[in-house]
C-alpha cells in the first residue's frame, strides 16, 4: 500500500510514515481534589463525532475524591467506549473543566499538530485498532487497555507544516458546514414561526401578520371546494416495474425514485395519503410537484382551483395537525372523503398569492443553503479519502 496521499498541498513530496501513538502522545493527568460546589464535567459519548458534552454537576455528589483538569489540544478517551470511537480532542473552550478517571487525557508531543489528528483518527483503521485494544466486557463495556492503546499504528506526514495545512483545511470546512447548517436551521425555524403568524390561529379569522392593504376576514372553506382530486390518474409501480429515468417518482413524503416516463406535467399539490409521517411529522405531509413527474398511490394529487393559489393551499395544509383527520388504525391514513372536508381559511386570491410567493422565496433560500451544505459534506468526505493514507 502506498504511503502517499492522492491529493497533497504543493511542496510536500515525502512519503508518510507509520508511527505508534506512543511516539505522538503521552498521558497528561492533572489530578485535583473533589470540587466543593458546582463544576463543569466533560464527557464523550459513543459515535459523537469527536465532540464533548458538558454536564453541570455538584461536587458533593461525587463518589470519588479526585478529578482531573482538562488542558486544550489534548486527546481524551472514554476508556469504556473507546472501541465505539468515543474520543475527542480538546480546544481552548474545554480548558479548566474537569473529567473523571474514566477519561484519560493525553498531550501531543512537540512537533505534532493536534487538529490534524481530529481528522486523522476519524480516518483509516483507528476504530478497528481501538476495538483490538479493548478486551470484551459485559454488554457494550469493553475497557481500553492503555498499554495496547499506545501501540496503535498511525500513518502521518513527516512534517508539522503538512499536518497543520491539512488540519486547518478540514477545520475551515467544518466551520463552513456548521455555518450553513445553522443558516438552514434558522430559516426552518423562521418558516415555522411565520406559518403560525401568517395563517389564522384556532378560533380566529385573521392572521397575526398580514401584507399591507389586506384587512378583510378570511373565509372558511372545505378543501374539496378549493381543489380537484386527480387521484384516479395516479399509478403505483413496484420497484421491479420501474424503468430508471429522469422523471421524479413521488410517494407520500416526496421523491422516492426516478423513472423513464411521467403522468403529470404541471404544478400540483401532493398530500400524503398514508404512512406514520402523517402523525409523526418527520417529513413534509404536503408539498408541491412541478415539471414532469409520476405519482404513486400513497399521495393525493390536488389541482388547485382558479380562485386559489398553489403554494398558499400547500402551506395551509402543511402547517396542520392531521391527527383529527386520521382514519387509519394500525397505519395512519388520510382517505379522500376525509380530506375533502378538511377546513381551510382562505383570503382573496391576491393575498393568497403574496403569501404563497413569500414562502416560495423562503423555501428557495432553505434549499440553497441545504445544497451548499450537502456539497460541502460531499467535498469533505471525498477529501478525507484522498488526503489521508
CATH number at 45 reads 3.90.220.20
Check pLDDT > 90 for residue 61: no
Is residue 318 domain-resident? no
Handedness of CA 310, 315, 318, 324 (dihedral sign): negative
Q: What is the pLDDT of residue 48?
A: 65
In whole angstroms, what is the distance from residue 323 CA to residue 326 CA? 5
Least confident segment among 62-71, 193-202, 224-233, 278-287:
62-71
Cell 513527516 maps to which residue? Answer: 158
Radius of gyration, CA atoms only, the chain: 28
Q: What is the pLDDT of residue 164?
A: 98
Is residue 350 domain-resident? no
Average pLDDT of the chain to the nearest whole number: 93
Q: What is the pLDDT of residue 352?
A: 98
Q: What is the pLDDT of residue 330?
A: 83
Q: pLDDT-based confidence at 154, cuts 50/70/90? A: very high
293 and 249 Cβ atoms separated by less than 8 Å:
yes
pTM of the model: 0.82
How many other CB atoms are there within 10 angstroms of residue 61's CB atom? 7
Check pLDDT > 90 for residue 55: no
Is residue 53 domain-resident? yes
Is residue 199 domain-resident? no
In whole angstroms, what is the distance from residue 193 CA to residue 93 CA? 33
Check pLDDT > 70 for residue 254: yes
Q: pLDDT-based confidence at 329, cuts 50/70/90? A: confident
Is residue 272 domain-resident? no
Q: pLDDT-based confidence at 1, cuts 50/70/90? A: low
Is residue 148 domain-resident? yes
Q: How many domains does the chain have?
A: 1
Average pLDDT over residues 236-264: 96
Least confident segment among 80-84, 140-144, 261-265, 289-293:
140-144
Q: Give the closest residue to 301 by CA, choosing from 314, 284, 312.
A: 314
Is residue 150 domain-resident? yes
Q: What is the pLDDT of residue 139?
A: 65
Is residue 145 domain-resident? yes
Secondary structure, 3-state, 179-225: HHHHHHHHHHHHHHHHHHHCCCCCCCCCCCCCCCCCCCCCEEEEHHH
Domain that holds residue 38: 17-156
Kindly report, residue by residue over 120-144, the tens digit of the pLDDT: 998 778 999 999 999 876 667 789 9
Alpha helices, DSSP H, located in 63-159: 114-120, 126-132, 146-149
The phi, psi pair for 202, rounded to 5°, reads -55, 130
Kindly report, residue by residue over 174-215, the tens digit of the pLDDT: 999 999 999 999 999 999 999 999 999 988 999 999 999 999
Three-state SS at 56: strand
Burial track 297-333 (b if 16+ CB lie within 10 A, e otherwise): ebbbbbebeeebbbbbbbbbbbbbebeebbeeeeebb
Give CA torsion, residues 62, 66, 70, 71, to 10 deg.
170
Strand partners, 364: none
Strand partners, 264: 293
Check pLDDT > 70 for residue 370: yes
Average pLDDT over residues 217-239: 96
Q: What is the pLDDT of residue 114?
A: 96
Q: What is the pLDDT of residue 59?
A: 73
Amino acid at each position: 500500500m502506498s504511503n502517499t496521499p492522492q491529493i497533497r498541498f504543493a511542496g510536500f513530496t515525502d512519503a508518510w510514515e507509520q508511527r505508534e501513538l506512543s511516539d505522538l502522545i503521552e498521558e497528561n493527568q492533572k489530578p485535583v481534589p473533589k470540587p466543593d460546589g458546582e463544576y463543569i464535567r466533560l464527557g464523550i459519548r459513543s459515535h459523537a463525532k469527536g465532540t464533548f458534552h458538558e454536564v453541570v454537576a455538584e461536587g458533593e455528589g461525587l463518589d470519588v475524591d479526585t478529578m482531573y483538569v482538562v488542558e486544550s489540544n489534548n486527546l481524551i478517551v472514554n476508556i469504556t467506549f473507546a472501541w465505539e470511537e468515543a474520543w475527542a480532542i480538546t480546544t481552548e473552550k474545554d480548558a479548566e473543566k474537569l473529567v473523571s478517571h474514566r477519561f484519560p487525557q493525553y498531550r501531543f508531543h512537540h512537533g505534532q499538530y493536534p487538529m490534524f489528528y481530529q481528522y486523522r483518527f476519524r480516518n483509516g483503521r483507528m476504530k478497528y485498532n481501538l476495538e483490538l485494544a479493548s478486551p470484551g466486557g459485559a454488554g457494550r463495556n469493553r475497557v481500553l487497555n492503555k498499554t495496547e492503546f499506545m501501540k496503535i499504528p498511525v500513518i502521518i506526514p513527516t512534517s508539522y507544516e503538512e499536518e497543520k495545512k491539512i488540519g486547518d483545511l478540514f477545520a475551515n470546512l467544518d466551520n463552513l458546514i456548521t455555518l450553513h447548517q445553522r443558516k438552514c436551521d434558522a430559516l426552518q425555524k423562521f418558516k415555522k414561526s411565520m406559518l403560525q403568524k401568517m395563517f389564522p390561529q384556532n378560533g380566529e379569522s385573521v392572521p397575526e401578520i398580514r401584507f399591507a392593504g389586506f384587512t378583510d376576514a378570511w373565509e372558511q372553506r372545505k378543501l374539496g371546494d378549493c381543489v380537484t382530486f386527480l387521484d384516479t390518474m395516479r399509478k403505483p409501480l413496484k420497484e421491479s416495474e420501474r424503468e430508471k429515468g429522469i422523471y421524479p417518482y413521488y410517494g407520500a413524503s416526496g421523491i422516492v425514485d426516478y423513472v423513464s416516463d411521467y403522468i403529470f406535467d404541471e404544478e400540483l399539490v401532493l398530500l400524503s395519503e398514508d404512512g406514520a409521517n402523517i402523525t409523526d411529522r418527520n417529513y413534509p405531509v404536503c408539498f408541491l410537484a412541478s415539471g414532469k413527474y409520476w405519482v404513486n398511490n400513497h399521495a393525493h394529487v390536488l389541482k388547485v382551483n382558479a380562485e386559489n393559489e398553489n403554494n398558499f393551499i400547500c402551506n395551509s395544509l402543511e402547517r396542520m395537525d392531521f391527527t383529527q383527520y386520521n382514519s387509519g388504525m394500525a397505519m395512519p391514513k388520510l382517505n379522500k372523503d376525509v380530506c375533502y372536508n378538511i377546513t381551510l381559511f382562505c383570503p382573496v386570491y391576491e393575498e393568497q398569492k403574496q403569501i404563497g410567493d413569500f414562502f416560495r422565496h423562503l423555501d428557495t433560500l432553505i434549499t440553497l443553503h441545504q445544497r451548499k451544505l450537502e456539497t460541502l459534506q460531499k467535498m469533505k468526505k471525498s477529501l478525507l479519502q484522498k488526503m489521508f493514507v
